Structure formats: structure tokens, C-alpha cells
């Protein structure tokens, strides 16, 4: 018969074996009959530890969808939580990859801070890149590419809109007479005047050096023309108050039209607005006795 000391040593070795070598089954028959239940407990621990080992190794290799240990394996709970976290992080990362930078991680301490900082930086860079792709550098208005895309969308959905083609009068004269810095001021002053009256009603774009397209879904061409008249007066006022470039016109010409899908496509309605702008310009030059 085994003495208590011998039994304790056997149990101790079996526990060590279960911890360090869970792949080796316990031979319960080697234990005295009175310690059979203890042996069964050690064997259950070994099975749990072996499940945990395989589970952890699989996730360490990147298999986060591996089947977790059974609910009876209570010591696997922390690993299961890690698996759940990794699955959620994977889902968040996929959403970010799709362009959803609003995702936020609220657990895992330093990792959360790093992840959230990453999404904030990506969102900031995306905004900057988008702005660069859609905006004119000098004025901050939309560019030609964006406004043509926008009108194509309106056309596809058959949404009504009014359009204005605006062209600055005398920009070349200002550039030639006072220099390109004066020309930039001339452009920016016209934009400031248009924004003052139109920003709540329309999308403004600069499509060339002295050309602008203005598109509105909320007001018709008559109202749009009225706001451009006010903008033109504001442009003149800015020029007068600047006290510089006295020979510059500080004037722009424009043509306005309502989109009629039964008559025009986007390219045609832009061309018509351009023609109306040219007529307006001719009238102004004739009235001012200006030779082009």
C-alpha cells in the first residue's frame, strides 16, 4: 500500500504533467482507489488545458474563427473573450477599409488608443484628399470635375435645377496691368461676393481661370439671376473699397437657365448658359464702350 507521501508525490507529478504536457493522458489506474476522484479531476484539468493550448495556438496563427472550447471549460473564458475582441476588431478594420472612419474601439486600453488614433488620422487624410480632388486651390470652390459629376447625378435622377455660367470681365486686363497677384485678388473678391449671396442656395464651382458654374436645386433661374446681380454689386463695392487697381472693371457677366430635361442634356444646358453669359458680356462692353 502506498504511503501518503508517495501518493502526494504521484499526484504532484501528475498535476505537473497535466500543466506542462497536457497531451499525455493520466493513467488513473496507477492511483489508489481512494484517490480515483482526484485523478478524474486532474484528468479533467488536463483536457481543459489541452483544449486551451490548441485554441490559443490556433488564434496565435491567425485563425480567429477556430471553434472555442465547450462551455464546461470555464478556464477558457479569458481566451474566448480575446477571440470575441479579435473578431470585433477584424470587423471594425474591414469597415475602416471600406471608408467608414467613424468606427471606434472602446476596450483593450493602449490598443484602443492606437486604433482610434489611426482611424482619426485616416479620416483626416481622407477629408484632405477628397477636398483636393473636389476643390479649386485658389478659391476653395468646387472644381470642374466635381460640378460636372454633380450635374450628371441630377440628370440621372431627373432632379430640377437652375444653372448660371459666370465669366469675370477684365481679368486679363488686371493681370497685364497690375500683375498676377492683383489677378488673384480680383478672382477671390468675385468669389467672396458670390458666396455672400449664394452659398445657402447653390453649389459654386470654378471651372477655369475666369469662369464659374453655379448650380442650384432650391431656386429658379430668375431668383439665381437676382442674387448674382447683388453679388455683382458686392464685387464692385469690394473693388472700390480696396483703393487699388482703379482701372480694373470689378464686374462679371452671367447667363442663367432652368434645366429642361425634355429639351437639353447637361452639356447642352451648360452651352446655352455660356451663350447667355456672352450676350450679357457684349451688352456690358458696349455700354461701357470697352473694346475687347
> Tens place of pLDDT for every residue, the chain, 292 residues?
557 777 777 778 878 888 888 888 877 776 777 777 888 888 888 888 888 899 889 988 989 899 999 888 888 898 888 888 888 888 887 887 777 878 787 766 667 777 777 777 777 766 665 665 789 989 999 999 999 999 999 999 999 999 999 999 999 999 999 999 999 999 999 999 999 999 999 999 999 999 999 999 999 999 999 999 999 999 999 999 998 888 899 999 999 999 999 999 999 999 999 999 999 999 999 998 877 5
What is the model's pLDDT at position 267? Answer: 96
Look up cell 467672396; give the residue. Answer: 192
- CATH of 142-287 among 3.40.190.10, 1.10.1040.10, 3.10.20.30, 3.30.70.270: 3.30.70.270
Between CA 202 and CA 54 the distance in angstroms is 62
**Phi first, then psi: what are they for 207, rounded to 5°?**
-105, -5
Report the pLDDT value the prediction gives residue 23, as an integer from 0 to 100.
87
pTM here? 0.61
* Interatomic CA distance for residues 231 and 164, integer angstroms: 13
Amino acid at each position: 500500500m502506498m504511503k501518503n507521501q508517495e501518493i502526494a508525490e504521484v499526484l504532484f507529478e501528475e498535476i505537473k504533467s497535466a500543466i506542462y504536457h497536457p497531451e499525455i493522458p493520466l493513467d488513473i489506474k496507477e492511483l489508489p482507489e481512494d484517490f480515483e476522484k482526484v485523478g478524474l479531476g486532474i484528468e479533467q484539468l488536463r483536457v481543459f488545458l489541452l483544449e486551451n493550448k490548441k485554441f490559443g495556438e490556433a488564434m496565435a496563427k491567425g485563425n480567429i474563427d477556430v471553434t472555442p472550447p465547450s462551455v464546461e471549460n470555464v478556464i477558457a473564458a479569458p481566451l474566448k473573450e480575446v477571440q470575441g475582441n479579435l473578431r470585433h476588431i477584424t470587423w471594425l478594420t474591414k469597415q475602416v477599409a471600406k471608408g467608414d472612419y467613424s468606427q471606434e474601439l472602446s476596450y483593450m486600453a493602449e490598443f484602443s488608443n492606437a486604433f482610434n488614433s489611426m482611424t482619426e488620422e485616416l479620416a483626416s487624410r481622407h477629408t484632405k484628399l477628397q477636398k483636393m480632388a473636389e476643390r479649386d486651390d485658389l478659391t476653395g470652390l468646387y472644381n470642374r470635375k466635381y460640378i460636372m459629376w454633380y450635374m450628371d447625378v441630377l440628370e440621372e435622377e431627373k432632379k430640377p435645377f437652375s444653372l448660371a455660367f459666370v465669366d469675370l470681365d477684365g481679368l486679363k486686363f488686371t493681370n497685364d496691368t497690375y500683375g498676377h497677384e492683383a489677378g488673384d485678388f480680383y478672382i477671390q473678391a468675385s468669389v467672396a461676393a458670390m458666396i455672400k449671396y449664394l452659398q445657402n442656395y447653390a453649389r459654386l464651382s470654378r471651372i477655369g481661370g475666369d469662369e464659374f458654374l453655379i448650380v442650384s436645386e432650391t431656386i429658379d433661374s430668375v431668383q439665381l439671376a437676382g442674387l448674382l446681380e447683388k453679388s455683382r454689386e458686392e464685387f464692385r463695392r469690394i473693388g472700390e473699397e480696396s483703393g487699388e487697381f482703379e482701372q480694373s472693371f470689378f464686374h462679371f457677366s452671367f447667363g442663367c437657365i432652368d434645366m429642361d430635361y425634355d429639351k437639353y442634356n447637361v452639356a447642352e444646358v451648360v452651352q446655352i448658359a455660356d451663350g447667355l453669359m456672352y450676350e450679357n458680356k457684349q451688352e456690358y462692353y458696349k455700354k461701357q464702350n470697352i473694346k475687347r
